Structure 1
Amino acid sequence: MLLELNHIFKWVTTGGRRIFLLKDINFKVEEGEFISIMGPSGSGKSTLLNVIGMLDTFNEGEYTFLDTPVHQMKEKHRANLYKEYIGFVFQAYHLIDELTVYENIETPLLYKKIKSSERKALVADMLDRFNIVGKKDLFPSQLSGGQQQLVGIARALIGKPKLILADEPTGNLNSKQGEEIMELFKELNKDGVTIIQATHSETNAAYGNRILNLLDGGWVKS
């Protein structure tokens, strides 16, 4: 088992009322799965990915990742865990504006204390794979949305994560680029990487071996 969520609730309180972002989420993920989570905007897809990715906490419930009880961990230890095992592909890129394309892609390797010569080789491989060698010295603001997305994906993959969390991963790409990214995810999944994607696209969702639907923060029973 890669991860398990038990009775996860997350809410915000406004005007003395609880607004539930996630309610009673139970979710088990085996290593090597490719899971698509669908649902309208505001259904809780991004919140759920952020909880799984340990970027966001929750109010109630238990979360176990690789037999480690995440809900009992201090923030620093959680951060170490996700940097080691999880790669994120965000719709909003989250690139670091002050760093070049090369430096953005290299960032996850710095956390892993990989030596310089190996980092160079890994980054060169990613630049090549995504056809962005010519962009390596540019800053995010000098790139198109599609190019920024490719840099974000390269950065997510470079650390060879066990789990990739993808939030609308092709949202800013043209259809050809989008298809290439989904095919790349399919290849990675064949190699044993677990993928959980949140998507509006039925075409993208179909790449998953399980499709789950969220509505108002809870699973829709199929």
Structure 2
Amino acid sequence: MRYLLVEDNLELAEAVTKRLALDGHAVDHAASLADAEDCLAVGRYDLILLDVMLPDGDGRAFLARRRAHLETPVIVLTARSRVSDRVGALDQGADDYITKPFDFSELEARCRAVLRRRGGAARNQIALGAATFDPLAGTLRHADRTLDLRNREIRLLEVFARFPGQILSKGQLMDRLFSHDADVTENAIEVYVGRLRRRIENMGLRIETVRGLGYRMDLDGT
């Protein structure tokens, strides 16, 4: 998943970015609302983590302005613990909030919960044909077999799981897997797709190469 973190506390931003990266997520950091606008103009995100107090404005006002045409789920990060502040953030379009200081495990759990709700799922498991994918546990089960996936494999399979049967270009996969400042090329996508393809080929799934266009996951594979 690709996240946008809007936070002016550089120490906190670095800590959050590193923690989410351990799970294979790509995180773009914006230290101001202006930087956030620039990121949203060129990137597509699965989730936005939005601070309230920023150098060039209030994150809640920013959210209220953009919510009409911003479909990306938003979790507000706030040091304000009053009920009225939390209610205000939710009324202005936040999908959830978390109060600073927060435990990273709680932040990760709230991220997962928001993404599940947006995806219409109540549980972590995702049905992929006859297989069951659990991004939290990092497993793929088919019949009596269970495959343990590595972090980058988990995130790549998550992307294919969100768009079953659709052709995804290398550029689209890069946008989902890597932050905008990551020093990677489209060759990296070929490597990761190749590794994942080999690992899931006996799990009822198949990743097809569509020449000149990209890749598509077939749920009726061998």
Higher RCO (C-alpha 8 Å, min separation 6): 1
- Does TM, scored on the shorter chain, surpass 0.5? no
Q: Normalized against structure 1, the TM-score is what?
A: 0.31
